[in-house]
């Protein structure tokens, strides 16, 4: 068993280079640390940030008088009683600082009459969301942070370097093992602190607005390192993801900004509005909370009132061609290339996996249960409770990234390393990199599709004990039987099969955590809807915490929701 032939050392290792990871790298470097910023894809070009379309929720008070405590109140309401109020307060209170800093770095927030323009979004009590452009806020944020990272001394960036395991020693994180995708060899990294910013898990569901960077790796890496996760049962489904006709070259959640701008009408298969039957209002305005709308569409389809492809209609026909062109310009031509003419007919939409509220349990310094291990962005659980308020995701990435990077730099130790600590993780890569001469055994693509279908059908929008139990049984069977039998068929440069094996391992660990948590929450609340237990149970207004005991077993318990009175929320780690 040879050691990895490449070994690196850094003060702070940041895993994942989306909005949260890039901000963490900048903050850690500002704190005097040498930073290594890695991404399995390309730095600042993969992940969720670059796919974000329009709105960033933050109490700037420039469009209408506002205060961060109002944003906090709306966040808690959307979270259905489960938000970690300390984390939510951190997000809302420090959001404005990050938005101003991004402004100084030239992100180009839209302005109107000399102030930042802020718009309404569902669940907010006033116009609060800043944006760059109605489809390109995420790309602008990513580009600005890429530029700032490149200009910051002390940050080393490596693309196509995929962390497969964290390395711990004496209960503290000591670094990581990674796969160099271009060459296929293992790399070891000693680090004085690690920030996990590798995003969420939406790739695990058949219908998703995702990328290959959202496969639950953050959660699986944290579990394996001994950290706790919370709220894993709360997967947010975006209600009006594109369904038909087939659309390529655009994110399937692109109807969101269309509705912000022009309203649009959501109709069932009988061309009738229906949201008002489910306790919310629509009628051309866009105000219904995401969990309510998703649930309403699923119920209409179940009642035989769905659109032809099993969703709802979204209609802009009443707007008129000139107004559509005026509002959306060249996007109208991109739609035309997909055979879509909004002036002539509706499109079909349906829920799609979009975001994960749960994740790594952290304190207000973004520190996990494992000394030296921090988390940021969507990898973090708790701030958004059982349902995320729209516009909070980018704010969370920027704020939590900054806090995590600053504290990781401040509390780091000198990196220490012994190759023996990483031996198993290194040998996993070495073993998988050896090609085998067989065409038998399972194929990754088939297994991953099966998992995506399983979670969509049995651990998705509508759940019950029978389906959850069946899903859990198959997930455990895939972990014990299919994963060990899976062996990459490719080798050499850019062998994707090795990465795919680790992708499946992480996906199964995360899927099990979601399913176990969903089985144990015997009520319906926010994004977790149980058909067999439709009522919300006030006695279950707690968080579920999950961690690994030994090599395989997941242990679940409940913890009280962390409440905050506004004056107890100290500035996170202010000196």
Partner 1 sequence: MTDTVAVTIQRGAAGETPRDDIFTVPYREGMSLLDALIWIRAHADPTLAFRYSCINANSCKECVVSVEGRTEYACTTRLTGGAVSVRPIGNKRLLRDLATDTVPPKEKFAAQD
- Which CB sits closer to partner 1, 487 or 545? 487
Binding partner 1 by CB under 8 A: which of 16, 123, 138, 351? 138
Q: What angle do CA 56, 61, 64 make, to 5 degrees?
A: 105
How near is the Cβ of 165 to partner 1 at its closest, in Å?
Answer: 18
Classify residue 244 by burial, with Cβ atoms within 10 Å: 0-12, 13-18, 19+. middle
Q: Which string of x and - marks every residue 141-160 that binds partner 1 (by CB under 8 A)? A: ---------x-----xxxxx
* Separation CA 110–CA 112 (nearest Å): 7
Tokens of 54: 């329009």
Inter-residue contact 359 to 375 (CB < 8 Å): yes
DSSP structure string for 250-296:
S-TTTHHHHHHHH--EEE-TTS-B-GGGGT---TTS--S-HHHHHHH
- Is residue 387 a contact residue for partner 1 (CB under 8 A)? no
Q: Which string of x and - marks every residue 81-120 that binds partner 1 (by CB under 8 A)? A: ----------------------------------------
Binding partner 1 by CB under 8 A: which of 465, 490, 523, 531? 490
Verify whether residue 548 is a known catalytic residue. Answer: no
- Is residue 311 a contact residue for partner 1 (CB under 8 A)? no
Q: Which of 80, 128, 157, 290 is catalytic?
A: 290
Peptide bond into 507 cis (omega under 30): no
Q: Which string of x and - marks every residue 229-258 that binds partner 1 (by CB under 8 A)? A: ----------------xxxxxxxx------
Inter-residue contact 26 to 188 (CB < 8 Å): no
How near is the Cβ of 229 to partner 1 at its closest, in Å?
Answer: 25
The b/e string for 198-208 (b: 16+ C-beta within 10 A; e otherwise) is bbbbbbbbebb
How near is the Cβ of 306 to partner 1 at its closest, in Å?
Answer: 20
* Separation CA 215–CA 455 (nearest Å): 13
- Is residue 492 a contact residue for partner 1 (CB under 8 A)? yes
Return the axis-axis angle of helices 496-520 and 423-433, rounded to nearest 10°: 120
- Which CB sits closer to partner 1, 107 or 161? 161
- Which CB sits closer to partner 1, 110 or 159? 159
How near is the Cβ of 432 to partner 1 at its closest, in Å?
Answer: 13
- Which CB sits closer to partner 1, 339 or 484? 339
- Is residue 496 a contact residue for partner 1 (CB under 8 A)? yes
- Is residue 383 a contact residue for partner 1 (CB under 8 A)? no
- Which CB sits closer to partner 1, 41 or 118? 41
Inter-residue contact 55 to 119 (CB < 8 Å): yes
* Separation CA 342–CA 320 (nearest Å): 9
How near is the Cβ of 5 to partner 1 at its closest, in Å?
Answer: 12
- Is residue 444 a contact residue for partner 1 (CB under 8 A)? yes
- Is residue 489 a contact residue for partner 1 (CB under 8 A)? yes
Task: Find the part of the chain contacting partner 1 (CB under 8 A) among 44-52, 341-349, 366-374, 564-572.
Answer: 44-52
Count Cα atoms within 13 angstroms, Cβ side, for 238.
Answer: 26
- Which CB sits closer to partner 1, 28 or 50? 50
Residue numbers 154-213 binding partner 1 by CB under 8 A? 156-161, 180, 182-183, 187, 208-213
- Is residue 350 a contact residue for partner 1 (CB under 8 A)? no
Q: State the pairing for strand pair 155-158/129-130.
A: unpaired
- Which CB sits closer to partner 1, 439 or 574? 439
How near is the Cβ of 567 to partner 1 at its closest, in Å?
Answer: 41
A 10 A CB-CB count for 573 gives 15
- Which CB sits closer to partner 1, 171 or 308? 308
Binding partner 1 by CB under 8 A: which of 115, 494, 537, 570? 494
Q: What angle do CA 543, 357, 194 make, to 5 degrees?
A: 95
Residue tagged 């901000």 (tokens): 23
Residues that contact partner 1, how many (by CB under 8 A): 55
Task: Find the part of the chain contacting partner 1 (CB under 8 A) among 109-117, 163-171, 440-448, 520-528.
Answer: 440-448
* Separation CA 572–CA 575 (nearest Å): 9
Task: Find the part of the chain contacting partner 1 (CB under 8 A) among 45-53, 408-416, 522-530, 535-543.
Answer: 45-53
- Is residue 46 a contact residue for partner 1 (CB under 8 A)? yes
Residue numbers 3-42 binding partner 1 by CB under 8 A? 6, 8, 41-42
Inter-residue contact 511 to 455 (CB < 8 Å): yes
* Separation CA 540–CA 357 (nearest Å): 17
- Is residue 319 a contact residue for partner 1 (CB under 8 A)? no
A 10 A CB-CB count for 127 gives 15
* Separation CA 483–CA 486 (nearest Å): 5
- Which CB sits closer to partner 1, 5 or 272? 5
Classify residue 1 by burial, with Cβ atoms within 10 Å: 0-12, 13-18, 19+. exposed
Binding partner 1 by CB under 8 A: which of 4, 35, 51, 129? 51
Report DSSP state, residue 434.
Answer: S
Binding partner 1 by CB under 8 A: which of 61, 139, 284, 310? 139
At residue 325, the 3 state secondary structure works out as helix
- Which CB sits closer to partner 1, 161 or 301? 161
> How far lies 153's CA from each of 31, 146, 149, 159, 160, in Å?
11, 13, 8, 18, 21
Longest dimension (CA), the chain: 68
Binding site for partner 1 (CB under 8 A): 6, 8, 41-43, 45-47, 50-51, 138-139, 150, 156-161, 180, 182-183, 187, 208-213, 245-252, 337-339, 443-446, 448-449, 488-490, 492-497
Residues serving a catalytic function are: 290
């Amino acid at each position: 068993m040879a050691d990895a032939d490449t070994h690196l050392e850094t003060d702070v290792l940041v895993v994942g280079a989306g909005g949260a990871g890039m901000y963490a790298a900048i903050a850690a470097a500002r704190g005097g640390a040498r930073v290594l910023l890695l991404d399995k894809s390309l730095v600042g070009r993969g992940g969720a940030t670059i796919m974000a379309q329009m709105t960033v929720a933050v109490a700037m008070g420039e469009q209408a008088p506002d205060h961060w405590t109002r944003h906090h109140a709306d966040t808690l309401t959307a979270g259905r009683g489960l938000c970690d109020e300390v984390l939510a307060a951190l997000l809302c209170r420090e959001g404005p600082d990050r938005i101003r800093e991004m402004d100084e770095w030239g992100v180009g927030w839209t302005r109107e009459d000399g102030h930042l323009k802020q718009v309404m979004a569902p669940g907010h009590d006033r116009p609060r969301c800043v944006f760059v452009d109605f489809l390109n806020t995420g790309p602008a944020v990513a580009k600005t942070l890429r530029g700032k990272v490149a200009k910051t001394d002390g940050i080393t960036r490596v693309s196509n370097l995929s962390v497969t395991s964290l390395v711990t020693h004496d209960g503290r994180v000591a670094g990581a093992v990674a796969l160099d995708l271009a060459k296929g060899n293992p790399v070891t990294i000693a680090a004085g602190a690690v920030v996990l910013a590798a995003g969420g898990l939406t790739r695990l569901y058949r219908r998703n607005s995702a990328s290959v960077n959202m496969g639950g790796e953050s959660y699986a890496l944290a579990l394996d390192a001994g950290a706790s996760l919370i709220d894993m049962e709360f997967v947010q489904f975006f209600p009006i993801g594109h369904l038909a006709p087939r659309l390529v070259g655009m994110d399937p959640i692109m109807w969101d900004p269309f509705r912000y701008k022009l309203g649009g009408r959501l109709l069932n298969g009988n061309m009738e509005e229906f949201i008002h039957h489910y306790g919310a209002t629509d009628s051309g305005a866009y105000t219904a909370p995401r969990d309510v709308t998703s649930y309403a569409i699923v119920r209409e389809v179940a009642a035989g009132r769905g659109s032809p492809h099993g969703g709802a209609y979204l209609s802009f026909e009443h707007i008129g061609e000139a107004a559509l062109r005026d509002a959306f310009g060249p996007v109208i031509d991109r739609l035309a290339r997909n055979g879509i003419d909004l002036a002539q007919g509706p499109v079909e939409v349906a829920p799609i996996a979009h975001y994960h509220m749960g994740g790594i349990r952290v304190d207000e310094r973004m520190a996990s249960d494992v000394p030296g291990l921090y988390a940021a962005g969507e990898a973090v659980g708790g701030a958004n409770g059982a349902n995320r308020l729209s516009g909070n995701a980018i704010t969370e990435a920027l704020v939590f990234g900054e806090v995590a990077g600053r504290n990781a730099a401040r509390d780091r130790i000198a990196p220490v390393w012994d190759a023996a600590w990483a031996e198993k993780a290194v040998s996993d890569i070495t073993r998988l990199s050896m090609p085998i001469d067989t065409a038998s055994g399972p194929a990754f693509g088939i297994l991953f599709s099966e998992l995506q279908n399983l979670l969509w059908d049995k651990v998705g929008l509508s759940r019950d004990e029978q389906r959850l139990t069946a899903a859990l049984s198959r997930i455990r069977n895939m972990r014990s039987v299919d994963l060990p039998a899976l062996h990459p068929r490719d080798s050499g440069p850019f062998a994707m099969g090795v990465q795919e094996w680790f992708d499946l391992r992480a996906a199964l660990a995360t899927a099990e955590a979601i399913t176990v948590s969903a089985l144990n929450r015997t009520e319906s609340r926010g994004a977790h809807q149980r058909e067999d237990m439709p009522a919300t149970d006030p006695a279950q207004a707690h968080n579920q915490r999950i961690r690994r005991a030994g090599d395989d077993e997941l242990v679940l318990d409940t913890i009280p929701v962390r409440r905050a009175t506004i004056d107890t929320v100290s500035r996170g780690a202010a000196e």
